[in-house]
Amino acid sequence: MHAYEKIRTEMLQRISQQVWPAGSSLPHEEQLAEEFGVARGTVRRAMEQLVDQGLLERKRKAGTKVAARNAHSSTLTIPVVRREVTDSGAEYGYSLLSARKGGRPLDRSGYFAGAPLLHICCLHLSDGRPYQLEDRLINLAVVPEAEVQDFSEISPNEWLLQKVPYSSVCTTLKAEAADAKQSRHLQIAQHSPVFVIERQTRLDKQQVTLVRMSHPAAGFSIITQTNWIDIPDPE
């Protein structure tokens, strides 16, 4: 275990056992460096990670304080659907439902500013059962290749992620009651709960794509795990 890891763990302990309670000030870098017998840069490195995790707050001259925890943060990872299905041990299936130019039923907010659009609907299956309904708009002004691409074998999800660059993503998670389309394709009763992920992808100022991914609520969940203290090794 490296010096900065030991120090980070030690500091984590002191925070979680309230040796350094929330709101209190830490000794400054040079003092800690002396205490731990390392260079200032090594202490900084340990502290930076704790700042990233939101456990410490630092300000020039004012020093370092233990942050008041008033939120839970974690990293949300949403893999490509195919991986999500295969990683669960199930067999992945895919079928294109429709692909036509010009549609904008999803484009309620006018994100695309009149650009030519491609509207794609497709279904992702897990062991033959409907897993996700993907309803997507692609901006042909940004991604002209999409118009001639055949999406009957590869899903737009995967194709876009691999081929098309983007610089900003906005993800929205919500629950809904299944509408006619969702209930038909996902083979669930109307008005039964659906977990929806909406994602808006931009390249600089331009919208690249807008997608709604609907999952039957039964059996679907998103899980995130955060560990602050490093896994205690058996020595």
Partner DNA sequence: ACCTCTATTATGTATAGACATATTATGCAT
Partner DNA sequence: ATGCATAATATGTCTATACATAATAGAGGT
Binding mask 22-51 for its own copies (x = CB under 8 A): x-----------------------------
Which among 15-23, 93-101, 120-128, 133-141 is the span making contact with its own copies, rule CB under 8 A?
15-23
49 secondary structure, DSSP code: H
The dihedral of CA 208, 166, 78, 75: what is its sign?
Answer: negative
Closest approach of its own copies to the CB of residue 102, in Å: 27
- For DNA, the binding residue among 11, 12, 50, 64 (CB under 7 A) is 64
Six-digit token pair at 168?
């900003």
- For its own copies, the binding residue among 59, 62, 77, 109 (CB under 8 A) is 77
What's the rounded Cα separation, in Å, for the pair 95 and 154? 9
Binding mask 54-73 for its own copies (x = CB under 8 A): --------------xxxxxx
- For its own copies, the binding residue among 227, 233, 234, 235 (CB under 8 A) is 227
Closest approach of DNA to the CB of residue 8, in Å: 10
**Per rule CB under 7 A, is residue 4 in the interface with DNA?**
yes
Closest approach of its own copies to the CB of residue 147, in Å: 20
Distance set, CA 3 to CA 8, 30, 55, 177 (Å): 9, 16, 20, 52
Binding mask 31-60 for DNA (x = CB under 7 A): ------xxxxxx-xx-x---x------xxx
Buried/exposed 141-157: b ≥16 CB within 10 Å, e otherwise: ebbeebeebebeeebbb
The residue type of 40 is R
Binding mask 204-223 for DNA (x = CB under 7 A): --------------------
- Give the count of beta carbons closer than 10 Å to the beta carbon of residue 72: 8
229 secondary structure, DSSP code: S
Residue 36 has phi, psi (to 5 degrees) of -85, -5
Residue 38 site contact among its own copies, DNA, none (CB < 5 to 8 Å, cut-off depends on kind): DNA
Strands 63-66 and 193-203: unpaired
Closer residue to its own copies (CB): 103 or 197:
197
**Per rule CB under 7 A, is residue 23 in the interface with DNA?**
no
Q: What distance separates the 2 farthest-apart alpha carbons in the chain? A: 67
The residues of the shown chain that bind DNA, judged by CB under 7 A, are 2-5, 26, 28-30, 37-42, 44-45, 47, 51, 58-64
